[in-house]
């Protein structure tokens, strides 16, 4: 109905996969940023969050001519590290999302943290799309910047097309060995039973329109109930960070509900519950990464889904990975404190 459509919140999509498969680079390609090159050792070590407004997604997918069907306000994408030592962050990221992108390097196939990620997704019954990345590494690949994948494929030589087919079928077999059916998305007639594979390049952008469109269409077609906005607050602390000029801040993902400047909040602290008031509600600009220092937008209130930086007094002992609660007019602070410490 008209109402439920206007009440849809942005889907939250988590990017998972083995180290260096191109998770951050894919986001850079969509954002037009250079976050990956600024990372120490080229390795992601934190969870990130980026908000993509629907107008940007519409623009990026217009070659596929499907814009009338996009109804969610935008997409919140959570970046995670692929290095083996960050299992906890992958678990935290995957725990927040409605849908996931599992990134696989077409030259490497399934790797140890790909398999770990598959298990996280299976355990939570999370639907995912496979981004089969680095197609530009196929020998002889002809660049078709930002083209839909089938348009790009038509431009390739028989040799490139054959190598592509061979690698895809090998990777489909590797997925089968993990108990998963997968198929190239444009051949997939049973989305849901069979997960879709979207070939991409994060360097030259082939397949990016397909990935974005599939993600949004799939989310809003299958998750209307899950994506219907509700007021009950659901909010998780991603990171606790000292920012010059702001003091100790927390980066949170607001999954549902609304946060206001001045709200009394309770978060789990190392020495007990922390009760404080939101001093500032900040977001990076749209299409910018929350974990990268930059200029922030100030808000009086924010509606889910969003990645938010909160400044408030007394956050030094806050524990990442726990839930944030708002003390409402009918709530007893002592009850909320007790709930917060159960995380």
Candidates 9, 92, 134, 241: give the one binding ligand GTP (CB under 6 A): 134
Question: Token pair of 7, please?
Answer: 């009440």
Binding mask of the shown chain, residues 261 to 280, with x at each position contacting ligand GTP by CB under 6 A: --------------------
Strands lying side by side in the sheet with 48-53: 48-53, 74-79, 12-17, 99-105, 127-133, 195-199, 182-184
Any residues with CB less than 8 A from the CB of 162 and at least 6 apart, and which? none
HSE (side-chain half, CA atoms, 13 Å) at 266: 19
Do 304 and 257 contact (CB within 8 A), yes or no?
Answer: yes
In the region spanning residues 57 to 86, those forming contacts with ligand GTP, defined by CB under 6 A, are 81-83
Question: Which among 265, 316, 306 has a CA at the least distance from the CA of 282?
Answer: 306
The secondary structure of 223-253, three-state, reads CHHHHECCCCCEEEEEEEEEECCCEEEEEEE
Binding mask of the shown chain, residues 155 to 184, with x at each position contacting Mg ion by CB under 5 A: ------------------------------
Report in angstroms how near the CB of residue 114 gets to Mg ion at its nearest.
Answer: 14
Instruction: Say whether residue 288 binds Mg ion (CB under 5 A).
Output: no
Return d(Cα 256, Cα 226) in angstroms, integer.
10
> Between 104 and 336, whose beta carbon lies closer to Na ion?
104
In the region spanning residues 15 to 44, those forming contacts with Na ion, defined by CB under 5 A, are 20, 42-43
Instruction: Identify the H or E element spanning 260.
Output: strand 258-260
Report in angstroms how near the CB of residue 139 gets to ligand GTP at its nearest.
Answer: 12
Do 120 and 16 contact (CB within 8 A), yes or no?
Answer: yes
3-state DSSP assignment of residue 289:
strand
Question: Token pair of 51, please?
Answer: 């908000």
Binding mask of the shown chain, residues 22 to 61, with x at each position contacting Mg ion by CB under 5 A: -xx-------------------x-----------------
Question: Token pair of 223, please?
Answer: 């998750």
Report in angstroms how near the CB of residue 17 gets to Na ion at its nearest.
Answer: 10
Instruction: Say whether residue 272 binds Na ion (CB under 5 A).
Output: no
Report in angstroms how near the CB of residue 273 gets to ligand GTP at its nearest.
Answer: 33
In the region spanning residues 38 to 57, those forming contacts with ligand GTP, defined by CB under 6 A, are 42-44
Instruction: Say whether residue 136 binds ligand GTP (CB under 6 A).
Output: yes
Kindly list the residues in this chain that would bind Na ion in the complex (CB under 5 A).
20, 42-43
Kindly list the residues in this chain that would bind ligand GTP in the complex (CB under 6 A).
17, 19-25, 36, 42-44, 81-83, 133-134, 136-137, 201-203
């Amino acid at each position: 109905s008209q109402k439920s459509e206007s009440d849809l919140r942005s889907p939250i999509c988590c990017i998972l996969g083995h180290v260096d498969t191109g998770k951050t680079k894919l986001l850079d390609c969509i954002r037009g940023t250079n976050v990956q090159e600024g990372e120490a050792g080229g390795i992601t070590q934190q969870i990130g969050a980026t908000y993509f407004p629907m107008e940007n997604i519409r623009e990026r997918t217009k070659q596929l001519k499907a814009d009338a069907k996009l109804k969610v306000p935008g997409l919140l994408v959570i970046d995670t590290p692929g290095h083996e030592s960050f299992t906890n962050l992958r678990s935290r990221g995957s725990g927040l999302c409605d849908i996931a992108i599992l990134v696989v390097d077409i030259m490497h196939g399934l790797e140890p943290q790909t398999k770990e990620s598959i298990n996280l997704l299976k355990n939570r019954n999370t639907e995912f799309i496979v981004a089969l990345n680095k197609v530009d590494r196929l020998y002889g690949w002809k660049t078709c910047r930002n083209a839909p994948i089938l348009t790009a494929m038509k431009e390739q030589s028989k040799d490139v097309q054959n190598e592509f087919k061979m690698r895809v079928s090998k990777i489909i077999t590797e997925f089968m060995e993990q108990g998963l059916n997968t198929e190239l998305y444009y051949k997939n007639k049973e989305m849901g039973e069979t997960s879709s594979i979207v070939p991409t390049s994060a360097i030259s952008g082939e397949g990016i329109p397909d990935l974005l469109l599939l993600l949004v269409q799939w989310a809003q077609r299958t998750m209307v109930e899950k994506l219907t906005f509700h007021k009950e607050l659901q909010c998780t602390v991603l990171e606790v960070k000292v920012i010059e000029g702001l003091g100790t801040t927390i980066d949170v993902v607001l999954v549902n509900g609304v946060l206001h400047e001045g709200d009394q909040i309770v978060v789990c602290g190392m020495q007990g519950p922390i009760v404080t008031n939101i001093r500032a509600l900040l977001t990076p600009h749209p299409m910018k990464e929350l974990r990268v220092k930059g200029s922030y937008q100030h808000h009086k209130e924010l509606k889910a889904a969003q990645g938010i930086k909160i400044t408030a007094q007394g956050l030094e002992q806050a524990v990442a990975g726990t839930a944030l609660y708002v003390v409402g007019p009918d709530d007893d602070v002592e009850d909320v404190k007790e709930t917060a410490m159960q995380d």
